[in-house]
Amino acid sequence: MKFFIETYGCQMNVSDSFEVRKVLEKLGLEEAKEEKEADVIIINTCSVRNTAEERVLGRLGYLKGLKNKNPNLKIYLTGCMAQNLKQELFKLAPHIDGIFGTYNRSKMVNAILKKDSYVVDISMDKYEFLPPTVDYEYPFKASVTVIHGCNHSCTYCIVPKTRGKEVSRKLNEIIDDIKRLVDEGVVEVLLLGQNINSYGRDIGTSFKELLTEVNKIEGLRRIRFLTSHPVNFKEDLIDRIAELEKVCKYFHLPVQSGSNRILKLMKRGYTYEKYLKTIEYLKSKIPTASISTDIIVGFPSETEEDFKMTLKLVEEVKFDFSYMFIFNPKRGTPAAEMENQIPEEIKVERIQRLIELQHKISRESNLKDVGKEFEVLVEEKGKLKNQLLGRTEHNKIVAFEGEEYLIGKFINVKVESLSGNTLIGTPISLTTQITK
């Protein structure tokens, strides 16, 4: 039997799909290169924006044609949209065979093996972590989900509804799995969770302890983590990170807005001043820290004054990079029901101003890197002949000339110039290479 997995949304979904893929391969199923060759199609869906759901529905429309040609084809949906819309999906796309929530991937695997039709399992009784696996595109990296769900209740976010409360994975299981991945050649792990800094609160440990233990694993070179919440990114955690040499000094700390009034409406649990205090502490302890953020523009009732506070914050923090979004009301969230939704043209005008400012700051940050040397993990070939792309500890991409055998190895590169916002470098020396 051949399967095809299509993934929408965040890094958690990408990682969830890798895990399902590995389970299916172990059970003897083969991955199809194209959906046309598949006996089973799995769509791992995203619900974070309405547009993400619309894309899946559009895709299901196309798959209906395939199912008409091959009535034995099975189509299963999992992920946040499956959890959110539940049986309603059968009305929207009657040709699908199964709907499985974020807790029910193993049950989906059973249904695939039995070729079940018209099955739904969206129960959220007990979250089951599947063993993490290497990144299929970059076999020297792996994502490891350490905590699932979120106890916050940001008013624009569907995650608490689709992923439930925080559930941490046992620390010893995580360590055993990372050791296994290192034996398989992994040199960089990305620890994942919707609110990663909360790891361990439900099982009597902490994210600080987890990082400390992961840092001890021999053969592992880099540790990254996503996603932090400013409320849970505490000073003692920063102190510990400063001491751990394998933890990359790159921090993604979503701020969402610079206006205290909007932050309150968003239920983010911090103020402009408190966020800034965290950043100042971080920079004082780790002067080389590189910081990125997420910003939502045009949240309901956002005034020009509110928006100017966001611009002020961006100027003040000088984020190396920002993911900037226009507020998109998500059905089922409190923010979608709020009055004073902002007209589209105002949102567009504001985000353009923000993008312009952030580009200027990112460029300044990149210009500071010119003339410096960085160790990069070589990840892939670039667009140009003999060009390779490597990633610095600070999550910046450096393009340089080199041969393909360097992929998966660490190399020192001197940054010589910028092309747009990409760093262009010259290789200096190979540092460490993968031995397994």
Q: Between residues 13 and 195, which has the closer beta carbon with respect to ligand SF4?
A: 195
Candidates 78, 84, 102, 194: give the one binding ligand SF4 (CB under 6 A): 194
> Alpha-carbon distance 121 to 77, whole Å?
11
Q: How far is the CB of 270 from ligand SF4 (least distance, A)?
A: 11
Record the tokens describing residue 258, joined without a space. Answer: 């610079």
Residue 166 or 177: the one with the smaller Cβ distance to ligand SF4 is 166
Name residues contacting ligand SF4, limited to 351-380 (CB under 6 A): none
Q: How far, in Å, are 4, 252, 309, 353 from residue 272 at the CA level?
A: 45, 17, 9, 20
- Nearer Cβ to ligand SF4 (159/398): 159
E-state strands within 161-205 = 167-168, 188-192
Is residue 58 within a helix (H) or strand (E), and if so which, with residue range?
A: helix 50-69
Tell me the DSSP string of 149-167. Answer: S-S---TT--HHHHH-S-E
The answer to whether 102 contacts ligand SF4 (rule: CB under 6 A) is no
Site residues (CB under 6 A) for ligand SF4, limited to 223-252: 229
Provide, rounded to whole angstroms, the least separation between the CB of residue 328 and ligand SF4: 14
Edge-to-edge order in the sheet of strand 321-326: 250-252, 290-297, 321-326
One-letter amino acid at 218 equals E
Residue placing its CB nearer to ligand SF4 in the complex, 163 or 350:
163
Let me know: does 427 contact 389? Beta carbons within 8 Å.
Answer: no
Cα angle 73-78-117, degrees, rounded to a multiple of 5:
40
Q: How far is the CB of 138 from ligand SF4 (least distance, A)?
A: 25
- The upper half-sphere exposure of residue 161, i.e. CA atoms within 13 Å in the direction of its Cβ, equals 20
Tokens describing residue 253: 């700390």
Binding mask 150-179 for ligand SF4 (x = CB under 6 A): x-xxx--x-xx-------------------
Size of the site for ligand SF4 (CB under 6 A): 10
Give 160 or 382: the residue with its C-beta nearer to ligand SF4: 160
Q: How far is the CB of 225 from ligand SF4 (least distance, A)?
A: 14
Q: Which residue has the tokens 């598949």?
A: 38
Q: Which range touches ligand SF4 (CB under 6 A), out of 102-110, 122-130, 149-157, 393-401?
A: 149-157
Q: In this structure, are residues 340 and 166 in contact, taking their beta carbons and an 8 Å threshold?
A: no
Closer of 150 and 289 to ligand SF4 (Cβ): 150
Q: Which is nearer to ligand SF4, 169 or 229 (CB)?
A: 229
Q: Give the binding site for ligand SF4 (CB under 6 A).
A: 150, 152-154, 157, 159-160, 194-195, 229
